[in-house]
Amino acid sequence: MRVLGAVTVVALAAGLVAGLGLAPREVTQGNVQRIMYLHVPSVWVAYLAFAVVFVASIAYLAKRADAADRLAHASAEVGVVFTGVTIATGSIWGKPTWGTWWTWDARLTSVSILFVMYLGYLLLRGMIDDRERGARYAAVLGIVAAFNIPLVHFSVIWWRTLHQPPSLMTPGPAMPRVIITALLVNFVAFSLLYVYFVAKRVHLLRREAEAAA
């Protein structure tokens, strides 16, 4: 864990340098565009976290493995945090570019629903005293909620929205390589941060279960 934590700190520092120092100032939006190096990796981690919840929930329902339940629980908590960061940074980015902090277009509406669904996942766990029954109910919700992820991702393609369409791996003019590199460095850094947070939380959940037993 110490090694992972140290590597994560180094990666985050490298991402900060790449986003604020190496990547050029965007011509149209100016320096406010640099929030992309926080916003987009946060979206990726949220997707990753909820995908892990989906897989771990299926594994728990299939085998009743406590380890799978702890992984789903921890990943959901981290996913909620990064979804909150995504919404906050998107609002900060939207104010100078769209002229408003929030608008109920398809992308923002769908991601807010996703956020509420996983908050409900965590609340459901806390409301049920029977740990095993709470884990079963939460696993079902974790599976159902994951089907909203494609809706969030493809909303900018399926509907006309203020939010820009995906910039990576799509037809059209390619972003400058230095911007892509800065984004990839931050993708790696935030992914490592996700792994570190989940590993720490799983460890705490295991200790809590041992103490309760």
Measure CA of the first residue to CA of the last residue in the chain; give whole Å. Answer: 25
Give yes or no for residue 174 having a pLDDT over 90: no
> Structure pTM?
0.91
Number of domains forming the structure of the chain? 1
Q: What is the mean pLDDT of the chain?
A: 91
Q: What is the pLDDT of residues 65-101, one digit of tens each?
A: 999 999 999 999 999 999 999 999 999 998 888 888 8
Q: What is the pLDDT of residues 96-138, one digit of tens each?
A: 888 888 888 888 999 999 999 999 999 999 898 888 999 999 9
Q: CA distances (Å), 140 to each of 53, 55, 60, 136, 186, in order?
A: 10, 11, 10, 6, 32
Residue in the structure block whose two tokens are 């991601």: 111
Where in the sequence is the domain holding 135, given as residue range(s)?
A: 2-212
Residue 153 structure tokens? 């991702």
Query: Do residues 84 and 74 make contact, with C-beta atoms less than 8 angstroms apart?
Result: no
* CA 49/CA 58 separation, integer angstroms: 14
Rounded Cα gap, residues 113 and 155, in angstroms: 13
Q: Which of 176, 111, 106, 114 is nearest to 141 (CA)?
A: 114
Q: What is the dihedral of CA 172, 176, 179, 183, to 10 degrees?
A: 40
The answer to whether 49 and 192 have CB atoms below 8 angstroms apart is no
Q: How far is 197 from 46, CA to CA, in rounded Å? A: 13
pLDDT of residue 169: 52
Most confident of 25-29, 97-101, 145-149, 192-196: 192-196
pLDDT at 177 over 90: no
CA 210 to chain centroid: 29
Q: How far apart are CA 74 and CA 55, in angstroms?
A: 13
